[in-house]
Structure 1
Amino acid sequence: MARGRKVNSNGEKSKQLLREKAIELFSTNGYYQTKISDIVKAAKVTQPTFYLYFESKDSLFHDLNEQFQQDLFHILEEQLQQQGMQFQKVIENLLQYFASNPLLTKIGLYQSEASYTVKEKLVEKFEQILDGQVENYHNLQRNDIHIVSQSLMGSIERITDTLLLTNRKSAKELAEDLFSIYFVEEAESVVVS
Structure 2
Amino acid sequence: MARGRKVNSNGEKSKQLLREKAIELFSTNGYYQTKISDIVKAAQVTQPTFYLYFESKDSLFNDLHQQFQQDLFNILDEQFDQQDIQFLKVVENLLQYFIANPMLTKIGLYQSEESYLVKDKLVKKFEEILEGQARNYPNQQHNDIQVVSQSLLGSILRLTNAFLLTNQKSAKELAEDLFSIYFKKEPALVTS
TM-score (norm: length of structure 1): 0.92
Tell me by how many angstroms 1:135 deviates.
1.4
Q: Moved runs in structure 1, 4+ residues, more than 3 A? A: none
Given the alignment of the two structures, is residue 42 of structure 1 paired with residue 39 of structure 2, yes or no?
no
State the match for 1:114 in structure 2.
114
CA distance in 2, matches of 1:177, 1:84: 21
Q: C-alpha deviations, 1:59-111, integer Å up to 9, x for none?
A: 00000000000000000000110120000000000000000000000000000
Q: Percent identity between the aligned chains?
A: 78
**Aligned Cα RMSD in Å?**
1.7
Q: C-alpha deviations, 1:123-151, integer Å up to 9, x for none?
A: 00000000011111122211001100000
CA distance in 2, matches of 1:108, 1:154: 15
Partner AA of 1:47 in structure 2: Q
State the match for 1:17 in structure 2.
17
Structure 1: where are the runs of 5+ without partners? none
State the match for 2:141 in structure 1.
141
CA distance in 1, matches of 2:57, 2:77: 30
CA distance in 2, matches of 1:10, 1:26: 24
Partner AA of 1:90 in structure 2: V
Aligned pairs (5 A) from 1:93-112: 93-112=93-112
Partner AA of 1:78 in structure 2: E
Deviates more, 1:173-182 or 1:9-18: 9-18
Q: Give the secondary-structure state (helix, strand or coil) at the position aligned to 1:186.
A: coil
CA distance in 2, matches of 1:96, 1:55: 32
